[in-house]
A and B are shown apart, each in its own frame.
Chain A
Amino acid sequence: MNALAHGASYGALIILTLLTTVAMGVWFERKFAGRMQSRLGPTMVGPVGLLQSVADVVKLLNKEDIIPRDADRGLFTLAPVLAALLSLGAAAVVPFSSTVVAADLDIGVIWVVALGGLTVIATFAAGWSSNNKFALLGAMRGIAQSVSYGVPLVLSVLVPVILAGTMSLSGIVAWQTRHHWFALWPVIPGLPALGLFFLAMLAESNRIPFDIPEAESELVAGVTTEYTGAKFVLFYMAEYVHTLVGSAVASVLFLGGWDGPIAPGLHWMVAKTLALFVAVYWVRWSLLRYRSDQLMALCWRRLTPLGVGLVLLASAWALFAPGGPA
């Protein structure tokens, strides 16, 4: 029961933090995008527009909750909830420090990847239940994309798993604490694996340059076309959380997680996660969208073989390098 209480309390803490971070993240992104585009971004609500996100949320929650007449009502409602739950659920196993973790599963890596994969279901449910052809097209693209990018994602995740010899996220961090970060050494499977994970994560969470399910210039707003109000908030939030958790996982897997000098572990972890989070936005506001077939070609012709190669290299390293994993 103690573990349960521990998990529950930390879980609640982490969720609250995440939600706050999302709110701040939206503000940060708008300011960031504004600066990149030589404008100011939000300024009106609160000091330097800090409360803009809060205002947005309040506004959205007050909006009418529209369910299209021919929609599949059950799924239409389930989809955003599922999306939010899954992204938050993935966060449950991410260790923010050696103690701040809701559930330190021995198969944490699989948990994260599996829940990430399940997001597809939510995407699909949203797109299909809307009974809107843009939404459905978006869902179809999303499924193809997620299923495909699941492959390089898993392959890139396998690199630290093989090198550390464990599937527990905190175990991987602990290994890096004892030895070195995987992004730094062995640099050849490590750093490319980080890049691979980053790209695959962008695709899995439908971020630019892989935001084809949304593709606002083509599909209005993709799967979220018919969503308004609270449901839209859930989707929006889920996407942010997904990205955030992805960044956290990348930090854990490749950048040593809470490992760092001087400052407490939690600070290091948050710093690394936010750095990656910023990188995601940087990419978002810098790059253009890929075309669907280019996206697939990239996945199957470039990233997947690369991932296989990295896994083989990591295996070789684990087998032959001196002082490899036990």
Chain B
Amino acid sequence: MSPASSFALVAVLAPALAALVLAALPALRRQGTPAAMLCIAGSLGAFGAALAALSRLAHTHTPETWSRPWLQAAGLSLADVGVRVDGTSAPMLVVVTLVALCVQVFSLGYMHGESREAFGRYFAYHALFLFSMNVLVVSPNLLQLFAGWELVGVTSYLLIGFYYRKPEAAHAAVKAFWVTRFADMGLLFGLLALFTASGSFGWEAQLSPAVATFVTLMLFLAVVGKSAQFPLHIWLPNAMEGPTPVSALLHAATMVAAGVFLVVRAAPLFAQSETTRAVMLVTGSVTALFAACLALVQTDIKKVLAYSTCSQLGYMVAALGAGSVFGGFFHLTTHAFFKALLFLAAGSVIHAVHSNEIGKMGGLARRMPLTGGAFIIGALALAGVPGLAGFFSKDLVLEAVEGKLGSLPWIALLATAFLTAFYMGRVVFVAFFGAPANDHAAHAKEHGWSMRGPLVLLATLSVVVGYFGGDLAHLGGHAYHFHFTGGAALASGLGLAGIGLAYAVYGRGPREAPAIIATVDRIAQSRAVNRFYEFGFRRVTLVAADALAWIDRYVVDGLINMTGYVTLALGSRARKIQTGEAPDYVLAVMLGVVAMAAWVVVQ
């Protein structure tokens, strides 16, 4: 077993160990802080191991796989389980463990007010999540990836529903679960088709065009669900009912990126289908633009960020659809840092002002300079301001999309870039500048170092990570070298313009929203997509279910009940044979004996 893969294995098993201990020892879990420490230790170990694996890989530049056959039957194994360390999984592993570590440390402060029992439970879920995500990331084939995929789905469910006494949270958890589960059917079908066609769950199989299209479309369905792409994005805003650090970790940086990661992972498959990539390109750009529009009008800071996440994931998907695997992956990496940063900063703000509404904030930059600075750095990175992480990756995406499908996606993404800058500017100006909206905002204070430390770390990374694009590309065997082009200038210009517009609109205190924004707001309020699903559910699914229920009750059950009645009737007749008197039974036995003996003799 080579060093890199053993490090990766440690990265998987360290949080697993923590989760196992916390599951097996409820007494320890209910202690709260020790459980949290154990969980963070696990994450720290995982992060260290991931870093070691990455450096090892950077040294050798050789992908490594360690695996064991699984589900053996008749000398064949269905698939392998193990770890694979290559240019995709190693950086992803580092990103995941690092963000998880930051979020967990942040949570120490953020979740401080919870009861000790809930505190321990929270961290136990976190450890389980990290384990699941790592399983997904390092998997050497798509079957293990599927297992990790479902595991993170479960932990997502658990963490969204963390405040399970709150009806909205429980509802959101169920919604997220069902929507992603619907999408996961695609993954299952895709895997089955892949296995049928190629006999394995590897992502390097060569498939016929039709099969490749089917398989990748099915996989993409799962991506749409997990990465909250239009039209299955509806669960992500609701998922904001979970604790804010959870949103930062699962629903911004890591889990939702798993969909993108899947496409990156299975790039050889996706490369075989032009159709799927076109679908991805369209879906990605539509999602990016659509979600950005919705983000314009949200008043809940977390929902702004949630739609922003949708939008950025749309960017990544569009990049992948355009054929730029590295573009998508790079944006995934940078986005993970600055979006986690944004969410944690938002969490810090929310913790201070006890509200999610940006209208109830204001002037926070002065009272919480570190948080405000971190949020602004994140917002600038997201807006694609030159020099920050988002700029490089977004530029790469735009470059990839340019010219595809009549340039419509490119235009959409450019518009998105503008809108992104605008809505982030809106949030920044409304929440962090101007006058405090109320007493909470006026007396907001910075929190302890457990919350400030991760912000500083992530802010730093949001600034610098863009410059490592070349190394990242080199690790994955891609060619990338940044050069400032006209497209980049256009994008950053649009971003700056968006910020400027936001300043013009919101910079000097709250003001009546422009007419166009009000229109978008009205459209958003109509919840068209959700209502479409509700219609589909109530009118189609429920009616069909009612019809099926009728058939089940009166036809299927009727048959069964009839069987029962007939049996009963026969039984009450047959019961008369059972006199309960031994001589009668003996008589029957003897009849049988005589009959058998006679049969034998006659034979």
Q: Tell me, yes or no, whether A and B come into direct contact in the complex with CB atoms closer than 8 A.
A: no
